[in-house]
Amino acid sequence: MDMDGFPDSLINRLDRARRVVFATGAGISAESGVPTFRGEGGIWNKMRPEELASVDGFMRNPQLVWEWYQHRRDLMSRVEPNPGHFAIAAFEQHFPELTVITQNIDGLHRRAGSSRILELHGDISRNKCFDCGRLYDKEINPDEDLPRCGCGGMIRPDVVWFGEMLPHDVLQAAFEAAETAEIFFSVGTSAVVQPAASLPLVAARRGAFLVEVNLEPTPLTPVADVFLQGKSGDILPRLLKQFESRRKAAPGGEKTP
């Protein structure tokens, strides 16, 4: 155990690793103040999320769904990446291959500087065609007639709704990253929502060193090689600092990927 409270086994593994995965959930976003699913007060608290975040809800009342998503976008635009997001982005400089797999739709990892991000549930800031899936980059005004794609399809938020499958290519890439990871971090997730909950188990079965960072123990905790309890915005920057100090003190100084 080093002086900062991190096991030597973790620092040593980091020092040797080339392929690292950070899988993040709602916990890291909550530290930035990202509002809960239902938002703040008003009419939205009186409605079931399934009525607003589903294909059926969109087909019944696309105007209402767009108003809700604009409300959520406005709320999320007021939050910023926290030290946990920035630490993950900084770790990327030390490994040839670092992948961020996130269940969050807030885009905070991208804003923090991470470059290889697999967004399992999409990104609330993007729009796409309901029919052909083509991205739509023009601004949406729910108070006006809703736009359509060139193919005639309706434009919708680029997020995964209740009852929808996760994007096949993104999910496949996530499992491939888990299968080849040497170190797998599970950060701020409940470890119960499938299929994301299977990713750390796949990594562990393939021999990855499994690290959990969370406020409370989860079903993953007994499986993890190391459980770091606390806020990711506190733990990850300290871990990064300790890791970088170790590398600089080693013969030959800082290694490069």
Active site residues: 121
> 10 Å Cβ neighbour count for 249?
9
For residue 173, give the amino acid letter.
A
Quote the tokens at residue 181.
């990871």
Distance of CA 185 to the CA centre of its chain: 12
Of 75, 35, 68, the C-alpha closest to 52 is: 68
Torsion sign (Cα): 98, 104, 106, 108: negative
154 contacts 128 by C-beta, under 8 angstroms: no
Contacting residues for 73 by C-beta, under 8 A, at least 6 apart: 124, 125
